Amino acid sequence: MRSFVAVEVTDAGALERIASVQRCLAGWGRQVGAENLHFTLAFLGEIDDAAAAAAGRALGSVSFEPFTVLFRGVGAFPSAKSPRVVWAGVDEKGGGALAALARTVCSALGVSPDIRGRPHLTMLRIGARKDMRDALGGLGGEELGSQRVDHVKLKKSVLTRQGPVYSDLAEVGAA
């Protein structure tokens, strides 16, 4: 099964602000549904049931203090001129806390950290690359709410034509 460890976005206010930006960018790409918005802390890839059970047990050993991230800024990877993904960024303090949590999770699971650059939240996936510099120009400093991080989940991902379907395999709460 395809799996990863993530922090889900659950704050209603943040979800509404993110959805508002997604509506403004409708037509540019495929929106990530509110139920699928998350920060990936560790991508495990294809694992079997035994490995998933072991990952769930290892995740249970993770201890962290709750913290808050502020969603700030909208951008694109690899660039706004030729994007594949439109993302929401996070503030420096929350981003640092997410990166530290990712390192802790990866250490517990025995995998290499997969945080490249600053943590981000994927909002849209772009099929055909289109120049989005004008569309994204005014969103660089946009504040999209905040999220208290107090749970981490091991997720299963099933890829379908309509997009991925995620389900929970294990969960750990903050200390």
Q: Is the pLDDT of residue 87 over 70?
A: yes
Look at the chain and report how many structural domains it folds into.
1
Q: How many Å apart are CA 21 and CA 24, to the nearest integer?
A: 5
Q: What is the pLDDT of residues 112-164, one digit of tens each?
A: 876 555 688 999 999 888 899 999 988 888 899 999 999 999 999 998 888 88
Residue-level pLDDT at 114: 63
Instruction: Identify whether 38 is a catalytic site residue.
Output: yes
Q: Collapse the DSSP code of 39 into the 3-class scheme (helix H, G, I; strand E, B; otherwise coil) and give the result.
A: strand
Mean pLDDT, rounded, for 54-68: 96
| Catalytic choice (9, 21, 29, 38) | 38
Answer whether 0.95 is exceeded by the pTM.
no
Instruction: Identify whether 120 is a catalytic site residue.
Output: yes
| Catalytic choice (17, 72, 120, 155) | 120
Residue-level pLDDT at 150: 97
Question: Crossing angle, helix 92-109 and helix 49-59, to 10 degrees?
Answer: 120
Radius of gyration of the chain measured on its C-alpha atoms: 16
**What CATH code is carried by the domain that includes residue 155?**
3.90.1140.10
Size (the chain), residues: 175
